[in-house]
Structure 1
Amino acid sequence: MPVSQHRDTTPPALPPGYAALHAGFGWQVPEFFNMAQACCGRWAAQPDATKRIAVRAYSTGASSTFYTYAELQAQANRLSNLLHQLGVQRGDRVGIVLPQRFETAVAYMAVLQLGAVAMPLSMLFGPEALQYRLHDSEAVVAICDATSLEALSSVRDDCPLLRTVVGVGTTAATRSADLNYAAALAKAPKHFTAVDTRADEAAVLIYTSGTTGNPKGALIPHRALIGNLPGFVASHNWFGFNGKDNQRSNAVFWSPADWAWTGGLMDALLPSLYFGRPIVAYNGRFSPQTALELMRDCGVTHTFLFPTALKAMMKAYPGEGGARGKTVRQQFKLKLDAIMSAGEAVGDAVFGYCERQLGVTPNEMFGQTEMNYIVGNSSRHWPAKGGSMGMGYPGHRVAVIDDAGNECAVGMPGDVALHRLDVHGHPDPIFFLGYWKNPTATAAKFTGDWCRTGDLAVRDAEGYLWYQGRSDDVFKAAGYRIGPGEIENCLVKHPAVINAAVVPKPDAERGALVKAYVVIAPDFIAACAGDTGAIGQLHAKLTVELQVHVKGQLAPYEYPKEIEFVDTLPMTTTGKVQRRVLRLQEEARYAAARA
C-alpha cells in the first residue's frame, strides 16, 4: 500500500452492506451476566439437553466421544462444588493447565459459574512459565493434566498460595497431585446454584506473551464475551444463524488453537458453546493431513486456522493435479462455510489458496487479548480484499492513530486503536478491566480514550485496514521504512518456501540490511537426498531466485540482501513468528563480529 504524501481527511466510502450493519448495531449488556450460564446453563435447561452435543472429543481414525450439554453442566456442577469445598471464593484465581478435552470445558464452566476467575495455562509452559503465572496471580487451586504435573510440582514450593492441585488423568499418573479429578468429582454433589455475577466482574485472567519484560495478566470481564460476539458471528459468515433461527443451525466448530489462549478460548470454545453448537476437541499435534481428515470426519463447517497452518496446508496439498483434478475441498469432502484466520497477516497467496482449493473466502481477523475481535472481514456481508485486515466489526469504533492520538489520513501508517466508546457513544463491552496488579501498564496502553494495539496499519479510501507489522517489528534500512509482512508474503508465494521471517541485520554503513530467514518446503530438500553439496547448491540457487522474485514484485529496496535457510522459525504457542528472537540473534552476531 503506497503512502500518501498529503493529508486526505475525506471520510472513507464504506461498502453499503457494512455501513448499514455498523450504523444499526447496538450493544445490549445486562447488569448481571455470567459466561458459564450463557454458554452452558441455559442450554442444559432446554428439553433437548441430553441430545444436544457440546463437545466432540476426536481421535484420529474418525473415532470420537460425544458429550452433551446436560453432561457438561452436570460435571461442571460437581467441579464447582469440589472447588467450593476446597475454599475457592468469588474472585479467586484458579489455574487451568489442560489441553483440548472435555474436562477443559468442564473446568471453565465450573470456575466461571462459581464466580471465580479462570486462569488458562498452556500445556507448553515449562516450570518457570508456570511458576511466574501461578505466583503472580496468587492462584489458590490448579487443575492440571497429568502430563504437566511434573513441571508444576517442581515449582510448587515457590507458589505458597497454591493450596491444592487437582490432577486430570489416571490415578497412577496423578500421584503427585493432591486430588485425582475423576475420583474427587464422583464424590461431589451434582446440584449447584450458579453465582449471579455482574457483567463487569472478572471472569478470566490471561497472561499476554509480550515482547519485552515479564508477561502481563489481562483481566477479562464476563461482558467481554458479549463484546466478542459481533466479530465472531461476522467472521464466520453469521455463525449459528441459518436465515431463520439458530436452533436449526448445523454449525460445527473446530480450531487447533489452544484453549489456554485467547484465540482458542474466546474465539472458539466459548462462542461455539454460547450458540449451543458442538465444538471438536483434539489434543494431538497439528498436521495438514490430520486437520483435513478431522474436518472431513466431523463435518466441520467453521474453523479458525492460523496463517502458519494454512501455509502448511497450501504446501502439503496444493491441489494442483490432485485426485482426478479435484480441489482439496473435493478430495476431502469438506463442508466448510467459513474460515477465520488471525495471528499474522494472511497475505494474498494464502487468501487465493483458500478460495481456490478450500472453496471459502477466508475472513482475516485482528484483535488482542485486551480487546479481542475488533477488526476483520465477513465475506458474506461485505467484500473481503486479499491481504487486508478488514474493517472494525459492528459496534466498535476503530481508527489508525498517530503518536499524539489523532486519526491518520488515508494511506498514512499509524497504530490501530479502539475507542472506549462504541459508534453510538456507549461503553464498548469488549474491553479488558486492566492488567493484573499493574496500573502503570494499564494507563500506558491508552492515549486518551484510545486503546493502542501496538500494531501498525494504513487505512485505504474505502475504510479497509492493511497490516504493516508490529510497531517493534518495523525497521529502517538505508533510510527506507520496512514492514516485514509484505516481504514475507511475497517470499511464501515462491513454491520452494513454506515460511519466512524478515528482520533487520545491523550494518555499519546503512544502519540495517533486509535479511530473510526461510524454511524450505520438504519436497525441495528431499530432491537433494541428503547430499550436503547438493543442499549447498540448492541454497545458493534459491537465494538468487528469491531475491529476483521479491525484486520483481516489491520495491527495489525491499528485497532481502541476505537469506538464511533454517529448519524452523521461532514461534509463540499461539502460532506467531517471534521476529524479536531473530532480531536479537542478528544483533548478537554483529556485536561479536565487531568485538
Structure 2
Amino acid sequence: MISTSNAAGAADEYDALYRGFHWHVPPDFNIARLCAERWAGDAGRVAILYEDDAGHTATLTYSDLWRDARQLAQALRRHGVARGDRVAIVLPQRPETAIAHIACHLLGAVAMPLSILFGPEALAYRLQDSAAVLAIVDQAAADAVAAVRADCPALKRVLGAGCDGELDWDAELALSDGRLDDVAVATGAGDPAILIYTSGTTGAPKGALLPQSALLGNLTGFVASQNWFPQDGDVFWSPADWAWTGGLMDALLPALYFGMPIVGYRGRFSAETAFRLMEKYGVTNTFLFPTALKMMMKAVPAPREQYRLKLRAIMSAGEAVGDAVFGWGQAALGVTINEMFGQTEMNYIVGNSAGRWPARPGSMGRPYPGHRVAVIDDAGNLAAPGEMGEVALHRTDIHGHPDPVFFLGYWNNAAATEAKYSGDWCRTGDLAVQDADGYLWYQGRADDMFKAAGYRIGPSEIENCLVKHPAVVNAAVIPKPDPERGNVVKAFIVLASGVRGDGDAGRQLVAELQEHVRGKLAPYEYPKEIEFLDALPMTTTGKVQRRVLREMEAGRGASAG
C-alpha cells in the first residue's frame, strides 16, 4: 500500500518520493472489501452526496453502500451471474452506480461501465463484444438497451433502477438478506475486475481488461495530484462520467478507497452548475477536464467574487491544459492545477503535485512514484532529452518490481495487446519531449501530428494560443490537404457567447486570430484557415475528436473534386 502522510515538505521532494517508493501488492486484493466493507462499521461515514438536475438529493453512507451491495450481489447471483461474467453498468452518477460496482467485485464478476450517452449502435457493439450476461440501467439508457437486446444473445437479464424493466432494483434488493457467505469470493490482485472500452478517438473501441490491482496502481498519482488526499474534511467531486476511466478510476473508486465522501451529480455540465455544486457541498478536491476549465474560465472569470469555495486541489487530464488556464487557476481560484497523464490501459502515470514538487506551466509533469516512464523512438530506444518521441511505461518500476497499474490485455484482441508493447515498454500513442529535469511536455497524439510546408506541427500549442484570445472558448487544429504545401493549418473554433463569427465581423475576427497566433508562435504555425462551429466533436471523456474533423474536411475535398 502507499503512505498518505501530510507532513509539510521542501520545495522539491520529488527525487526522495520517487526513489524511495516501493510497491507492496498483497496477493489477495478485492475492490469491494477495500472500498466499502472496511468503512461500513463507521456509523454515519458518508460515501456519496447525490443530487440531480431536478433538485432531488440523497445521502449514501458506507454502511448503506455495503448493505445494498451485498443484497444486489445476491440478486445478481440469483439471476445467474457467476465469477468472471461481464455485467454492464449503464448508469450515470448516482448511488446505484457505486453499489453495482461493489456488488460485481464481491461476486468476482467483471464490472463493465457504459455511458448513458451511447446510442443503440455503440451499446450493441460493446454488449456483443463482451458477451455481457446482465445489464443494469436507469431511465436514461433503458430504451437504448431494449432496442438492441435481441441482437445481444448473451444478455439474459436487464435490471432497472428507478425505471420500468424486466427486473426491478428495489424488488430484487428486498428479496435479498445480504448474507456475505452467499456471495463473496476471494480474488487475487491480478484477477479481472473491470472492462472499460476505450473512447475510440483513433479507431474502433477496444475493451481494456483491468485487474483488481489497477486501483492500487492509480493511487500514487491520485494522492499526489490531489495534494496528498485525503485530509480531514476533504470532499471530492468531478463531472467526469463514472462510466469512464476518468470518472471511475480518477474519482469514484479512489474516493471510496480512502473512505471519503464524493458528490454525484446527475445532470448536464455547465460552469455555473460546477461552481454551485462546489460551493454547496464544500468541495475541496476535483478532477476537471481542460474543456470544462476553459468553459468555467470564460463564463466566470472571477469565481471567488461570486462563490465561497474551499478548493485545495484540482487535477486535470485528457488534453493539455495550456498556460492560459493554468494561470487562471492560480489567479482566480488560488489553486495550482496539477496536470495528469494516463490511459485506460495504464492510468495515472505522469503528473504534478504542486505542494511536493514545482509545477511547470504547460508540462504534463513527472512520472509519479511507482511508475517508470520514458520517451522512446519508433524502434523502442530511449530518446535523448529534448527529442520528441512516444510516451511509454515500463512493466516494472525503478526497483524492478512489477507495476500493478497495467491492464491485463484487450478483450478478444490479442494482436492489439501485443502491438501495444515494444519489449517491456507499453506504448501510449502520445508524443512528448522530456527535459533534463524529467518533466514531460505533451506534443499531441501521434496520429494528430502532421507536416505543413515541411514543418512538423502538433495541434496543442496552437490550440492553447487560440484559447488565450477572449473571443475563443475552445479550438481544435487539424491539417487541411493542400496541393502545394502538403497540408495547411486549419482551426475550428467555438466562440464565446455574444461574439459574432459571420459577415464582416467574422472576417475581421479571423484576421485578428491569425495575427494573434502569428505574433506568439512560429510563422508556419498560424492557421491559414479558420472555421467557426457551435461545438467541437467530443468524446464522452472530454477529448476533442480531431479525427472527426479530419474526416469532415476530407469529405468536403472529395465533394469538391
Partner of 1:18: 14
Which amino acid counterpart does residue 243 of structure 2 have in structure 1?
A
For residue 285 of structure 2, the aligned residue among 256, 277, 302 is 302
1:110-153 Cα offsets, whole Å, 9 max, x none, are 01111100000000001111111111101111111122111111
Q: Does 2:403 match 1:415?
A: no
Q: Which residue of structure 2 lines up, in the alignment, with residue 53 of structure 1?
A: 46
1:330 shift after superposition:
4.5
What is the DSSP-based 3-state SS (H/G/I as helix, E as strand, rest coil) of the residue aligned with 2:204? Answer: coil
Instruction: Specify which of 57, 67, 71 is matched with residue 64 of structure 1.
Output: 57
> Which among 540, 549, 555 is matched to residue 522 of structure 2?
555
Gaps of 5+ in 1: 1-14, 243-248, 320-327, 526-533
Q: What does residue 313 of structure 2 align with?
A: 338
What's 2:172 paired with? 184
SS in structure 2 opposite 1:443?
helix
Q: Does 1:237 align with 2:241?
A: no
Which residue does the alignment assign to 2:298? 315
Q: Any stretches of 5+ residues in structure 2 without a counterpart?
A: 1-10
1:203 paired residue among 193, 196, 211: 193
Q: Superposition RMSD on alpha carbons, in Å?
A: 1.4
Letter in structure 2 aligned against 1:553: K
SS at match of 2:193: strand
**Would you say 1:575 and 2:550 are equivalent positions?**
no
The answer for the alignment partner of 1:254 in structure 2 is: 237
Question: Equivalent of 2:354, from 356, 362, 379?
Answer: 379
The CA distance in 2 between the partners of 1:60 and 1:158, in whole Å, is 33
Aligned to 2:8: none
State the AA in 2 paired with 1:183.
A
DSSP-derived class of the 1:543 partner: helix
Cross-structure match for 1:468: 443
Q: Report if aligned partners of 1:167, 1:181 keep a CA contact under 8 Å in 2.
A: yes
**Equivalent in the alignment of 2:249:** 266
Offset at residue 538 of structure 1 (A): 1.7
1:587 CA displacement: 1.5
Match of residue 12 from structure 1: none
Amino acid at match of 1:209: S
Residue 210 of structure 1: CA displacement? Answer: 2.4
Aligned 8 A contact 1:142 1:166 in 2: yes
In 2, Cα distance between equivalents of 1:163 and 1:59: 30
Asked if 1 retains the 8 angstrom alpha-carbon contact of 2:465 and 2:517, the reply is yes
**Quick one: distance in 1 between partners of 2:92 and 2:54?**
20
The one-character-per-residue Cα deviations of 1:295-324 (angstroms, maximum 9, x if unpaired) are 0000000000000000000100112xxxxx
TM-score using structure 2 length: 0.96
Q: Give the residue type in structure 2 aligned to 1:33.
A: F
Cα distance in 1 for partners of 2:345, 2:401 equals 18
Matches within 5 A, 1:509-528: 509-525=484-500
The one-letter amino acid paired with 2:47 is: A
Q: Any conservation in 2 of the 1:300–1:335 contact (CA below 8 Å)?
A: yes
C-alpha contact 2:208 2:344 (8 A) present in aligned 1: yes
Measure how far apart 1:212 and its partner are: 4.3
CA distance in 2, matches of 1:16, 1:254: 28
The answer on whether the counterparts of 1:60 and 1:294 sit within 8 Å (CA) in structure 2 is: no
Deviations for 1:147-179, whole angstroms, at most 9, x for unmatched residues? 21111111111111111000111xxx41xx220
Q: Which residue of the partner structure matches residue 6 of structure 1?
A: none
2:92 match: 99
CA contact (8 A) 1:518 1:566 kept: yes
Q: How many residues align?
A: 550
CA-CA distance at 1:190 after TM superposition: 2.1
- Confirm or deny: 8 A CA contact 2:201 2:539 kept in the other structure: no
Deviation at 1:329, TM superposition (A): 2.6
Shift, 1:491, TM fit: 0.1
Indicate conservation of the 8 Å contact 2:202/2:547, yes or no: no
Q: Shift of residue 405 of structure 1? A: 0.7
Q: Helix, strand or coil: the match of 1:84?
A: helix
Asked whether the 8 Å contact 1:408–1:414 carries over to 2, the reply is yes
With 267-276 and 189-198 compared, the bigger mean Cα shift is at 189-198
